Amino acid sequence: MTPSATWKAHSPLPGFSLSLGFTLAYLSLFVLIPLAALAIRPWENGLDSVIAATTSPRAQAALRLSFVAAAVAAAVNAVMGGLLAWVLTRYDFPGKRLADAVIDLPFALPTAVAGIALTALYAQNGPIGGLLAPLGIKIAYTPAGVVVAMIFVGLPFVVRSIQPVLQDLDQEVEAAAETLGASPFQTATRIILPALLPALLSGVGLAFARGVGEYGSVIFIAGNMPLRSEIAPLLIVTQLEQFDYAGAATIGMAMLILSFLILLGFNGLQTLIARRGA
């Protein structure tokens, strides 16, 4: 038995060392070394400067805005994305295939394009912003604008996560619940939602992560006022422009660690639900 057999199961197929070697080299070059810089550079001026960079009022405000707005947007997408997935899998109506195809538009549309389009829509002289202005609602150039942009980019994640599960869900169970006298509300909360929850959580987690890191579609609509409507990625850019590499890296690292912890929580919740369901 060769030493390599201890870490790799035997296979007669060729190309293992070649493909693994190329994969590892490529990942090191484009992912590992760059991210190592992100992990190491914040500490070059000591722990105190890391604490100072993450606890400054401006950094705190930016991080809070990115995470809270992403959470609100993910919650909205959970409801409206869930509704869209439901309608697209369960009902037939004219234009259904088109509606299904345009769900992916936020994936395909460059974020800067989405950003200026949303700004034009929700500015006070825009078609939607103009309707809301008399009601005293301002969207563009406020934190609400940040949420709107994050709803746009996050929508497909939720819909595409739920759709296949809804498709596979046995409709006879719903019909059975109905014949046993369950109201539509009971059927929805007791039968459909529990089956859907793991997929919904994973979709919402993806939408949330995307929202936290989102830059292009947000910066146009946000107004970018420090302490008020400045998102964390923009703060990174600002600090880079001032050649504060360590500060920028610190905010970047903080964002990654926070998102990682939140997604870990989401995964834990998913496992918990799956175990209870089994």
Site for other proteins in 113-132 (CB under 8 A): 113-114, 116-118, 120-121, 126-128
Q: Does 255 bind other proteins (CB under 8 A)?
A: yes
- Count residues binding other proteins (CB under 8 A): 97
Interactions with other proteins, residue window 41-60 (CB under 8 A): 41
Q: Which stretch binds other proteins (CB under 8 A): 45-53, 57-65, 103-111, 134-142?
A: 103-111
Reference 61, options 207, 201, 224, 237; nearest CA is: 224
Q: Give dist(CA 221, CA 188) in Å, integer.
A: 36
Q: Does 213 bind other proteins (CB under 8 A)?
A: yes
Reference 70, options 249, 210, 169, 220; nearest CA is: 210
Q: Does 135 bind other proteins (CB under 8 A)?
A: no
Query: Is the C-alpha dihedral spanning 213, 217, 223, 224 positive or negative?
Result: positive
Q: Does 196 bind other proteins (CB under 8 A)?
A: no
Smallest gap from Cβ 127 to other proteins, in A, equals 7
**Residues 6 or more apart from 133 whose CB is under 8 A from it?**
124
Of 51, 137, 175, 193, which one interacts with other proteins (CB under 8 A)? 175
Q: Which stretch binds other proteins (CB under 8 A): 53-61, 133-141, 222-230, 258-266?
A: 258-266
Q: Does 247 bind other proteins (CB under 8 A)?
A: no
Of 63, 67, 72, 106, which one interacts with other proteins (CB under 8 A)? 106
Q: Does 145 bind other proteins (CB under 8 A)?
A: no
Q: Which is nearer to other proteins, 228 or 245 (CB)?
A: 245
Reference 237, options 222, 224, 227, 228; nearest CA is: 224
Smallest gap from Cβ 187 to other proteins, in A, equals 12
Q: Is 278 helix (H, G, I), strand (E, B) or coil?
A: coil
Query: Angle 57-90/245-277 helices, nearest 10 degrees?
Result: 40
Q: Does 257 bind other proteins (CB under 8 A)?
A: no
Smallest gap from Cβ 73 to other proteins, in A, equals 11
Distances (CA, A) of 14 to 7, 19, 22, 121: 17, 9, 14, 56
**Angle CA 165–170–176, to nearest 5:** 140
Side-chain half-sphere CA neighbours of 237 within 13 A: 12
Smallest gap from Cβ 23 to other proteins, in A, equals 4
